Amino acid sequence: MSATSSPSESATVSRKKKGGKKEIQESLLTPRFYTTDFDEMEQLFNTEINKNLSMAEFEALLQEFKTDFNQTHFVRNKEFKEAADKLQGPLRQIFVEFLERSCTAEFSGFLLYKELGRRLKKTNPVVAEIFSLMSRDEARHAGFLNKGLSDFNLALDLGFLTKARKYTFFKPKFIFYATYLSEKIGYWRYITIYRHLKENPEYQCYPIFKYFENWCQDENRHGDFFSALMKAQPQFLNDWQAKLWSRFFCLSVYVTMYLNDCQRTAFYEGIGLDTKEFDMHVIIETLSKHISINPLKKANKRNRTTARIFPAVLDVENPEFKRKLDRMVEINQQLIAVGETEDIPFVKNLKRIPLIAALASEILAAYLMKPVESGSVDLAEFEPQLVY
Ligand SMILES: [Fe+2]
Ligand SMILES: [Fe+2]
User: Cα–Cα distance between 9 and 300 in angstroms, integer?
Assistant: 51
Return the pLDDT at 235: 83
Return the pLDDT at 289: 52
Return the pLDDT at 7: 32
Taking 70 as the threshold, does the pLDDT of residue 295 lie above it?
A: no
Return the pLDDT at 44: 92
**273 CA distance to ligand 1 middle (Å):** 22
Q: Which listed ligand is nearest to 144 at the C-alpha?
A: 1
**357 CA distance to ligand 1 middle (Å):** 35
- From 361, 156, 367, select the one nearest 243 (Cα to Cα): 367
User: Cα–Cα distance between 254 and 183 in angstroms, integer?
Assistant: 13
Average pLDDT over residues 315-321: 91
Average pLDDT over residues 291-305: 35
Q: Which listed ligand is nearest to 215 at the C-alpha?
A: 1
Element (H, E) at 242: helix 240-262
Taking 70 as the threshold, does the pLDDT of residue 113 lie above it?
A: yes
What pairs with residue 24 in β-bridges? 14
**104 CA distance to ligand 2 middle (Å):** 12
Q: Which listed ligand is nearest to 214 at the C-alpha?
A: 1
177-211 pLDDT, tens digit per residue, is 899 999 999 999 999 999 999 999 999 999 999 99
Q: How confident is the model at residue 50 (pLDDT cuts 50, 70, 90)?
A: confident
**106 CA distance to ligand 2 middle (Å):** 7
**110 CA distance to ligand 2 middle (Å):** 8
Average pLDDT over residues 307-317: 77
Q: CB within 5 A of ion ligand 1: which residues?
A: 106, 138, 141
- Whole-angstrom Cα Rg for the chain: 21
Q: Which listed ligand is nearest to 113 at the C-alpha?
A: 2
**74 CA distance to ligand 1 middle (Å):** 12
**69 CA distance to ligand 2 middle (Å):** 14
Average pLDDT over residues 289-310: 41
Q: How confident is the model at residue 382 (pLDDT cuts 50, 70, 90)?
A: very low
**222 CA distance to ligand 2 middle (Å):** 5
- Helix, strand, coil shares of the chain as percentages rounded to 5? 65, 5, 30
**112 CA distance to ligand 2 middle (Å):** 11
User: Cα–Cα distance between 112 and 330 in angstroms, integer?
Assistant: 34
Residue spans of alpha helices (H) in 152-239: 158-164, 172-199, 212-231
**173 CA distance to ligand 2 middle (Å):** 18
148-179 pLDDT, tens digit per residue, is 999 999 998 888 889 888 899 999 999 998 99
State the distance between the two ends of the chain, measured CA to CA, in whole angstroms.
36
Q: What phi and psi, each to the nearest 5 degrees, are found at residue 16? A: -80, 140
**138 CA distance to ligand 2 middle (Å):** 6
Q: How confident is the model at residue 25 (pLDDT cuts 50, 70, 90)?
A: low
123-156 pLDDT, tens digit per residue, is 999 999 999 999 999 999 999 999 999 999 999 8
Element (H, E) at 358: helix 345-368
The maximal CA–CA distance of the chain, rounded, in angstroms, is: 63
Taking 60 as the threshold, does the pLDDT of residue 39 lie above it?
A: yes
Mean pLDDT of the chain: 84
Identify residue 28 by its one-letter amino acid code: L
Q: Which listed ligand is nearest to 140 at the C-alpha?
A: 1
Domain chopping of the chain, boundaries = 29-238, 318-369
Please state, for a pLDDT cut of 70, what percent of the chain lies above it: 83
Average pLDDT over residues 23-30: 58
Taking 70 as the threshold, does the pLDDT of residue 367 lie above it?
A: yes
**146 CA distance to ligand 1 middle (Å):** 13
Average pLDDT over residues 86-92: 90
Taking 80 as the threshold, does the pLDDT of residue 302 lie above it?
A: no
214-257 pLDDT, tens digit per residue, is 999 999 999 999 988 988 888 888 888 888 888 898 899 999 99
Taking 90 as the threshold, does the pLDDT of residue 1 lie above it?
A: no
Contact 99, 152 (CB under 8 A): yes
